[in-house]
Amino acid sequence: MDENKVSGSFEDLGVEPRLLKAIEELGFEQPMPIQEMVIPHLLEKDGDVVGLAQTGTGKTAAFGLPVLQRIDVAKRVPQALIIAPTRELCLQIAGDLADFSKYIPDLKILPVYGGSSIDSQIRSLRNGVQVIVATPGRLIDLIKRGEVKLADVHTVILDEADEMLNMGFLDDIKQILSHVPENRKMLMFSATMPKEIAGISREFMHDPVEFVAGNKNEGSKNVRHIYYMVKAHDKYLALKRIADNNPDIYGIIFCRTRKETQEIADKLINDGYNADCLHGDLSQAQRDLAMKKFRDHVTQLLVATDVAARGLDVDDLTHVINFGLPDDVAVYTHRSGRTGRANKTGVSVAIIHSREKGKLKEIEKKIGKEFEYRKVPTPDHIIEKQLYNLADRLERVQVNEQEIDKYLPGVRKKLEWLSEEDLLKRVLSLEFNRLLAYYQNMPDIDLNASAKDGRDGRREGKGRDKDRDKDRRKAEDGFERLMVNVGKAQGFFPGNLMELINRNVVGNKPDIGRIDLMPDYTLFDVKKGDAHRVIDALKNADFFGTTIRPEIATERDYARDARDRRAKGRGKSEKAVAAKGGKSKKEKADKKDRKEKKDKKGKRDKKPDYNGNYEVFYKK
The dotted CATH code for 223-378 is: 3.40.50.300
Using CA atoms of 499, 500, 501, 503 in order, give the dihedral in degrees to the nearest 10. Answer: 80
Residues carrying CATH 3.30.70.330, the chain = 465-582
Higher pLDDT, residue 577 or 42: 42
Residue 395 pLDDT > 80: no
CA dist., res. 249 & res. 508, Å (int)? 26
Q: Give the pLDDT confidence score for residue 456 in this predicted structure.
A: 45
Q: How much is the mean pLDDT over the chain? A: 80
* Positions of E strands within 180-250: 185-190, 209-212, 223-229
Share of the chain above pLDDT 70, in %: 82
pLDDT in tens, 554-589: 888 888 888 887 777 666 655 555 565 555 555 666
| Start-end of CATH 3.40.50.300 domains in the chain | 17-212, 223-378
Query: Following DSSP, what letter does each residue of 93-107 receive, concatenated?
Result: HHHHHHHHTTT-TT-
pLDDT (tens digit, 9 = 90+) per residue, 523-535? 999 998 899 999 9
pLDDT at 188 over 50: yes
Residue 252: name the closest of 268, 237, 228, 234 by CA: 268
- For residue 249, give Cα distances in angstroms to 8, 275, 301, 540: 35, 11, 8, 35
Q: 175: burial class by Cβ within 10 Å (0-12, 13-18, 19+)?
A: middle
% of the chain surpassing 90 pLDDT: 24
CATH of 465-582, one of 1.20.1250.20, 3.20.20.100, 3.30.70.270, 3.30.70.330: 3.30.70.330
At 131 the pLDDT is: 95
* pLDDT digit string, tens, across residues 191-227: 766 676 777 777 788 888 888 765 444 445 678 899 9
Spatial separation of the C-alpha atoms in residues 408 and 469, rounded to whole Å: 47
Which CATH architecture group holds 17-212?
Answer: 3-Layer(aba) Sandwich (3.40)
Q: Write out pLDDT tens, residues 404-449.
A: 888 888 888 888 888 888 888 888 887 777 777 777 777 778 876 5
Interval 74-102: pLDDT, tens:
999 999 999 988 887 888 888 889 989 98
Using CA of residue 461, residue 465, residue 467, residue 468, what is the dihedral sign? positive
Residues 332-349 have a mean pLDDT of 77
Q: Which phi and psi (to 5°) does residue 203 adopt?
A: -80, -35
Q: Which amino acid is at 94?
A: A
- What is the CA 530 to chain-centroid distance, rounded? 35
